[in-house]
Structure 1
Amino acid sequence: MKAEDMALIFSKLILNPIIRSQILDLFKKDENGKLIIENYIDAYIKGEDINSVKYKILKNILEKGLKTFAGDNYESAFKEYLKDSYFKKGLISVVRGLGYFGVRKPFVSGSPFLVVWDVTYRCNLRCKHCYANAGKPLEDELNTEEAKKVVDILGNAGVVALAFSGGEPLMRKDLFELIDRVKDYDMQVSIATNGTLLTKENVRKLKEHNVDFIQISLDGLKETHERFRGIKGIYEKVVEGIRNVVEENICCAIATTATKLNYKDVPKVMDFAEKLGVNYFMLYNYIPVGAGDYDIDLSPEEREELLNMLWEKLNNETGKKCKTAFLSTAPYYSRTALEHNKHYLATHFANVDLDGNEHLKSLANFIGGCGCGRFYLSLRANGDIQPCVFFPLKLGNMREFKDENDFLNFWRENKVLNDLRDRDKIEICGKCQYKYVCGGCRARAYSYYKDYLREDPGCILTKKLSS
């Protein structure tokens, strides 16, 4: 049976209202305050049988889902993966998403996999393209107790990963206290920083507090980077900070935001990232928002040139894989990769070699493209909720929520989020053959048109599809 046919059967199974109701019952708590689904997954890993309709439904979902999207002979490896707490949390969110939304293209998780939180807008730099227009803190930024409550709500809601950004997150005095609170919920925690404060002492402290991932901004080599960041003499500090993170063996990424001013230099930064030994190079999709001007945004042709350069670096002529993984937040990168190699899927979080695996190919339409409103949400320093850090549309505020149930209801019912989840609603992009693996950047549409369902003006296919 073809993978697409199996996916259809799997979808019909989940569409059954009785099954959906039983799935949501898995998220009730037992007498010890633990989710029923957690107990059942533990039993599944051990190969135990439980005389329960809900357990049998969960086991059936796991087995059918695994066969649909991975193929046969993967169960033992899958059970090993489930011993990893982050993978387990991710699976729980997927199952909750099936209960809430069914099998959607693209898929919607039961709570955000990732929340990016601008934890303060205090910053020691003056970056020309800063989406947050950071510098001074807001007057109404969340205090320590309010911030801890936010962590509690997100942790109890099943969020898998929390990224502290800003501003400069290391300038928030209670940051390490908040990091510890995040780890209490076994969430993955990361820091997005300008790198100037990554001294040996601070990096060692970040490691002691079990930070999983550190992303450092580097928009070019010395002259370019310092022109972008507004202060001379910082380049050496940033590079030293990167080296300190690599030496402590913390998973590390260099993040470059590409504009007209630096996109030709991106290959040099990629080479430098590999030389420094970082785990990832992340090419950020520049959106003219905050301090960023429209006149430095790439044209569709320039963006296409850049994404092709990224692909060539990833998959060079000799076929050798680079030590550093090269990723991009630009949703069109998924399309670029598939145009070069129909067996290759590039996402925000990983590059997946489909290698002719028909089952994995069927997964592409479910996980590809922009994660905004599906896997991802952003918070401002005052608790305001936005679809994305580059998408300044207030949807609510974390102060409004009493507990995780209020937050989950918001995630499930918010009109804007539900609009973003429906690719057929998007003008022009909704007609594209790549709508599920890409869908365009909703933040760019909002920036240019103040309408998040308009076409993405940054994509080279937009003109072709609108003519």
Structure 2
Amino acid sequence: MKPEAPRPPLGATPEAAPRLVRQGTAADRAEPHPLYCVWEITLACDLGCKHCGSRAGPQREGELTTAQCLDVVDQLADLGFREVTLIGGEAYLREDWDQIAAAIRRKGMLCGITTGARNLDAERVARAVDAGVSNISVSIDGLERTHDAQRGAPGSWRAAVEASRRIAATPIRLSTNTQVNRLSLPELCGLADLLVELGSRAWQVQLTVPMGRGADRPDLPLQPYELLEFFPLLDWLKTTRLDPAGVTLFPGNNVGYFGPYEARLRYGGAQGAHWSGCGAGKWCIGLEADGAIKACPSLPTDDWTGGRLPEARLGPTLREAPELTHLKNRTVDDLWGFCRDCYYADVCKAGCTWTSQCILGKPGNNPYCIHRAMDFERRGLRERLTHAAPAPGRPFDHGRFTLSVEDLPAAEGPLTIGGRALEDVAAVKWDAGGVWTEDELRHVLRRIGRREPVVTIEG
């Protein structure tokens, strides 16, 4: 419910550290424009991740040529972009990946890579150094058994760890990204210790969203009320394990919002920082390997493609395509459900668009919110998502969930994390292999059938 007294205006997000150019400056905020591009340069992949939104594997039909990619680099530079992250699939499976990276650097933009690192060998790391890559983020989604089960390839955890050590020994800044879900949540303490040992300088944590292969596994994502466990754990890990070791914790854009943890966690805990709404099309864009232009790399392709390279040009598309301009211009009137009447509605605008669309079928109402979960908790209630319709089986597709409110069960016994006692979670060692049995992993990661029709939710 909206409070009777109006909320005082929130302060502006402060100037960011130089390595966070994607967050912008005061001048940028006075005249917002995209600064950061996440570019899928191929859909080819050497893993088979069970949560992969793009269902990566084979390359796309009609992936851009080298010449076309270099033209895209020129367009990004001309439009004032400052940072480009190359992704896949697996970016290094495209033979000219380092040529593209070097071109990005020559144009004065930072270039990073996000990778599963299954085959990121010494030769490829050396090529990244020569190309001027500034940051490589390695995906590690839990301890060994859990990571390998989610990534669909035995040995992928050891490969990611070995690649991380190679990167840390170079001038490239090593960072780590982790999918937080039912399986990885109770292993975050052990994983935090591993990142410190590896020399990772930053850790981005992101909630698993039921898109693509993730939509085939409705038991994998957390329930909204499990944020009540997740956020205190994050805050504790930041204070006790990460900050003392110089590892900056970055909650992803679908980890929010407001509540008592916002100022301590947002943008690495920059003083005074807070969530200021979905940045899709406003601060960032996404490009797909066949030229699709989207406001965010994670948004469903069918609904959010505003143009396609090389026929379309980036400048006019970013200025004129409704798929690229709608989100940055939306108002509280575009919200619905709890989010429309929320205390923070005018600033937050329902958090991550990708998350809300993939679970409820449209943007504007996002149950993955700690402020919201705590509001329900104070009233003795919680929200539950129930799987209602499967995804059709295409890249960036999604099914649908229904949202219900139920009584909050009475607390019994000590605090648990992912169903395990807090002291046990805190004691997990990074080389323990994991907290789950093979049968438990298989149960959560089972593939569901597609007998039900796809259903869209009505507002």
TM-score with structure 2 length normalisation? 0.71
- Whichever residue aligns with residue 98 of structure 1, its letter is A
1:261-276 to 2 correspondences below 5 Å: 261-276=183-198
Structure 2, unaligned runs of 5 or more: 1-7, 377-382, 384-404, 406-459
Q: Distance in 1 between matches of 2:132 and 2:117?
A: 18
Deviations 1:169-201 (A, max 9, x none): 010011111112111211110001111222222
| Alignment partner of 1:98 out of 20, 27, 30 | 30
Q: Distance in 2 between matches of 1:85 and 1:444?
A: 26
| Alignment partner of 1:300 out of 224, 240, 249 | 224
Q: Distance in 2 between matches of 1:351 and 1:460?
A: 17
1:381 and 2:303 aligned: no
The answer on whether the counterparts of 1:285 and 1:328 sit within 8 Å (CA) in structure 2 is: no
Q: Distance in 2 between matches of 1:331 and 1:368?
A: 12
Structure 1 position 401, deviation (Å): 5.6
Poorly superposed stretches of 4+, deviation over 6 Å: 4-7
| Alignment partner of 2:351 out of 432, 440, 463 | 440
Deviations 1:265-318 (A, max 9, x none): 12211111112110011111211111113321110122331122111111239x
| Alignment partner of 2:250 out of 321, 327, 343 | 327
Change in 2 beyond 3 A, CA 1:426/1:201: same
Q: Distance in 1 between matches of 2:282 and 2:22?
A: 18
1:346 and 2:265 aligned: yes
Deviations 1:142-195 (A, max 9, x none): 111221221111111111111101100010011111112111211110001111
1:196 and 2:118 aligned: yes
Counterpart for residue 164 of structure 2: 242
Change in 2 beyond 3 A, CA 1:6/1:331: closer
1:394 and 2:318 aligned: no
Counterpart for residue 49 of structure 2: 127
Change in 2 beyond 3 A, CA 1:299/1:423: farther
The answer on whether the counterparts of 2:285 and 2:294 sit within 8 Å (CA) in structure 1 is: yes
Structure 1 position 387, deviation (Å): 2.8
The answer on whether the counterparts of 2:207 and 2:255 sit within 8 Å (CA) in structure 1 is: no
Change in 2 beyond 3 A, CA 1:303/1:423: farther
1:180 partner SS: helix
| Alignment partner of 1:213 out of 130, 135, 139 | 135
Change in 2 beyond 3 A, CA 1:430/1:188: farther
May I ask how many residue pairs the two structures share in their alignment? 363
2:309 partner SS: helix
Counterpart for residue 367 of structure 2: 457
Q: Distance in 1 between matches of 2:370 and 2:109?
A: 38
The answer on whether the counterparts of 1:423 and 1:439 sit within 8 Å (CA) in structure 2 is: no
| Alignment partner of 2:94 out of 150, 172, 194 | 172
Counterpart for residue 102 of structure 1: none
Structure 1 position 223, deviation (Å): 0.8
User: Which stretch shows the higher mean deviation, 218-227 or 440-449?
Assistant: 440-449
The answer on whether the counterparts of 2:280 and 2:324 sit within 8 Å (CA) in structure 1 is: no
Q: Distance in 2 between matches of 1:125 and 1:142?
A: 22
2:304 partner SS: coil
- Whichever residue aligns with residue 351 of structure 1, its letter is G
> In angstroms, what is the RMSD of aligned CA positions?
3.2
1:409 and 2:327 aligned: no
User: Which stretch shows the higher mean deviation, 413-422 or 201-210?
Assistant: 413-422
1:291 partner SS: helix
Which has more helix, going by share of residues? 1
Identity rate, percent: 23
Change in 2 beyond 3 A, CA 1:143/1:371: same
2:174 partner SS: strand
The answer on whether the counterparts of 1:278 and 1:324 sit within 8 Å (CA) in structure 2 is: yes
Structure 1 position 219, deviation (Å): 0.6
2:213 partner SS: coil
Structure 1 position 134, deviation (Å): 0.4
| Alignment partner of 1:426 out of 335, 338, 343 | 335
Counterpart for residue 449 of structure 2: none
The answer on whether the counterparts of 1:129 and 1:291 sit within 8 Å (CA) in structure 2 is: yes
1:389 partner SS: coil
Structure 1 position 251, deviation (Å): 0.9
Counterpart for residue 46 of structure 1: none
Q: Distance in 1 between matches of 2:329 and 2:343?
A: 17
Change in 2 beyond 3 A, CA 1:377/1:88: closer
- Whichever residue aligns with residue 69 of structure 2, its letter is A
Structure 1 position 439, deviation (Å): 3.4
Structure 1 position 423, deviation (Å): 4.8
- Whichever residue aligns with residue 302 of structure 1, its letter is E
| Alignment partner of 1:149 out of 67, 71, 75 | 71
Counterpart for residue 233 of structure 2: 309
Deviations 1:335-369 (A, max 9, x none): 25xx04x7x3533x4321x3xxxxxx4xx46x645
- Whichever residue aligns with residue 230 of structure 2, its letter is L
Structure 1 position 418, deviation (Å): 2.8
Structure 1, unaligned runs of 5 or more: 8-67, 71-77, 100-108, 355-360
Counterpart for residue 448 of structure 2: none
TM-score with structure 1 length normalisation? 0.70
Change in 2 beyond 3 A, CA 1:221/1:332: closer
1:230 and 2:152 aligned: yes
Change in 2 beyond 3 A, CA 1:210/1:384: same
Deviations 1:50-71 (A, max 9, x none): xxxxxxxxxxxxxxxxxx887x
Change in 2 beyond 3 A, CA 1:6/1:374: closer
The answer on whether the counterparts of 2:227 and 2:368 sit within 8 Å (CA) in structure 1 is: yes
2:136 partner SS: strand
Q: Distance in 1 between matches of 2:19 and 2:237?
A: 33
Q: Distance in 1 between matches of 2:226 and 2:83?
A: 33
The answer on whether the counterparts of 1:157 and 1:407 sit within 8 Å (CA) in structure 2 is: no
The answer on whether the counterparts of 1:333 and 1:346 sit within 8 Å (CA) in structure 2 is: no
